[in-house]
Homo-oligomer: A and B are copies of this chain.
Amino acid sequence: MKYSVILGNLGNTCDRFLSSGYKNNLPTEEMFRQAVSIEGVEGIELVGSWDITAKNVVSMGKLLLDHNIKLVSIIPDHFGQAVWGRGAFTSRDPKVRKQAVDVTKEMIDILDELGGELINIWPGQDGYDYPFQGNFDEANSWLVEGIKECADYKPDVKIALEYKPKEPRNFSYLARSSDTLLTALETGCENVGVTIDVGHAFVGGENVSESIYRLMKAGKLYHMHFNDNYKSWDDDMIVGSIHTVEFVEILYWLEKTGYDGWYSMDQYPYREDGRDALNESIQWLDALRSRMEIYGLEKIEELIKAGSATDIVRELRRLILS
């Protein structure tokens, strides 16, 4: 399994109560150094404007080279500046919508230059908060058009749409796996796919494995973001801190469907050391993967085919504990 992390996971954290930050700001180079020191990490994701801009492309390229790290994705910043406050691709202001596309094209160029693998679009501010605030017809057109324009810019660059049901908006336009797949298909672009963030899917009430199956079947699962939560909110916790069996199921279906993309960490370690938190996530994933392989994928396949809950529970106990 190829592991990567989002660079910002190593940085400072904040929330609406403590906007100055729970920890300390770290220079990009320090975050980079910490990220690549995590055992198993071979790739990095960068957030536009936060981590990567036209101004630091060269130095970032050098960092990647020096550390022999793959640029897995660039996540354009469509959510972290006041201009996006009421929407980026779906802003009622056509200038903002254009800017959302231009920013993405800029990041596509940078990705190209740095030899990166995909553009991960998380349109966090594209949604609505109140009843009657969702202008679904217009918003859907704008979203599809905008993404299409980005995808057509350089058709050999993969665009992965990352969904999330809620936060920062009360309702996001790309909320769950199926509506995001529908939107990807609606663009008509072959290079538009989907990113599953495990925590986002949990909050959305999905069985992540079923989403993996559906997206892989459609040939549209481009990327995975890993974290854990209590299922009701995007707590962005360490993988394996809450769920165990369900992560085995996720690893199984990624393997079974032939997912060959990255296993990227997307966590928000509010009060924890970022490096240590990400390290523990990868350790848990490695450990569960190892247990799964020792147990045997064919045996798991038989359990699934038979569908006996008591057998499954017993065998998962064996898989995990011995």
Contacts and interface: CB of A to CB of B under 8 A. Distances in A.
Contacts of A70: none
A252 B168 CA distance: 26
Interface string A210-232: 10011001000000000000111
A186 B321 CA distance: 41
Q: Number of copies of this chain in the oligomer? A: 4
Contacts of A248: 131
Interface stretch (A54-62, A110-118, A133-141): A133-141
Given A135-B304, A217-B140, A233-B166, A17 B313 contact: no
A241 interface: yes
Contacts of A124: 17
Given A242-B245, A242-B246, A283-B317, A82 B136 contact: no
Interface in A1-52: 13-23
A238 B131 contact: no
Given A17-B124, A18-B85, A314 B283 contact: yes
A293 interface: no
Contacts of A310: 238, 272-273, 276-277, 279-280
Contact of A304 (B80, B132, B268): B132
Contacts of A243: 242-244
Given A129-B237, A131-B242, A168 B313 contact: no
A98 interface: no
Contacts of A131: 207, 209, 241-242, 245-246, 248-249, 312, 316
A307 B272 CA distance: 11
Interface residues of A, number: 101
A259 B143 CA distance: 24
A316 B15 contact: no
Contacts of A231: 230-232
Contacts of A253: 136
A105 interface: no
A263 interface: no
Interface string A127-167: 01111111111101000000000000000000000000111
A168 B17 contact: yes
Nearest to A180: B178
Contacts of A81: 18, 20
7 smallest beta-carbon distances between A and B, as pairs: A178-B178, A178-B179, A244-B244, A136-B213, A276-B310, A130-B309, A131-B249
